[in-house]
Amino acid sequence: MPASWMPIATRHQTYNYLLQGRSIRATSKALNVSRYAVVYNKERIDETGKLINRKRSGLAAYSPVVQTINKMIINNNTNSKKEIRKALILKGYYLTLRQIRYRIQILGFKWKKAKKVQVISATNQERRMQHHAWYCATGYQFNQHIFSDETYFIVIPIKI
């Protein structure tokens, strides 16, 4: 059982066993927890004086990596995770994409996929204008459509 999943009663019991003079190995076997969890638990209780763990997100929010990600998102909020990862690697921080996503959530941002804007060339724009003019000349009813964009002449028909 990892140290973070350990119930408070078990944490208290491991600490008492160690204070009574039992070894780390005997304590871990008696309570069915890992030796690392026993050591971690003792260090945390000695450090904080409490039986509970520190909040991970509160600690990570002040780390230099998270502050770097925060600056990058504020300067340019259209960065992708891969772009953020490349920039962090240049600064000496090697994180996986999942770790980056977690740190973005710590900051309070929600990750949404951005839609890219289609850039239409001048020749295609002219073709669309000619196409639109032909439809107007034939008496095509554009009011039967949900959306018609007069700049690019995009028409999406309604399905009835």
* Percent helix, percent strand, percent coil in the chain, to nearest 5: 60, 5, 35
Please report the pLDDT score of residue 149 as a whole number: 46
User: Both 39 and 63 in a single domain?
Assistant: no
User: Both 85 and 127 in a single domain?
Assistant: no
Please report the pLDDT score of residue 113 as a whole number: 58
User: Both 49 and 14 in a single domain?
Assistant: yes
User: Both 11 and 29 in a single domain?
Assistant: yes
Does residue 116 have a pLDDT over 80?
A: no
* Cα–Cα distance, 65 to 108 (Å, whole number): 15
Q: What pTM, to 2 d.p., does this model score? A: 0.38
User: Both 71 and 48 in a single domain?
Assistant: no
Structural domain contains residue 127: yes
Structural domain contains residue 111: no
Does residue 44 have a pLDDT over 70?
A: yes
Does residue 68 have a pLDDT over 70?
A: yes
Please state the domain count of the chain: 3
Structural domain contains residue 112: no
The confidence band for 79, taking pLDDT boundaries of 50, 70 and 90, is: confident
Structural domain contains residue 113: no
- Mean pLDDT, the chain, whole residue set: 76
Q: Domain residues for 130? A: 122-157
* Cα–Cα distance, 90 to 101 (Å, whole number): 18
For residue range 4-30, what is the model confidence (pLDDT) as tens digits? 677 888 888 999 999 999 999 999 999
For residue range 81-112, what is the model confidence (pLDDT) as tens digits? 888 899 999 999 888 888 888 888 777 777 66
Amino acid in position 2: P
% the chain with pLDDT above 70: 71
Structural domain contains residue 36: yes
Q: List CB contacts of 142: < 8 A, sequence separation 6 or more.
A: 135, 148, 155
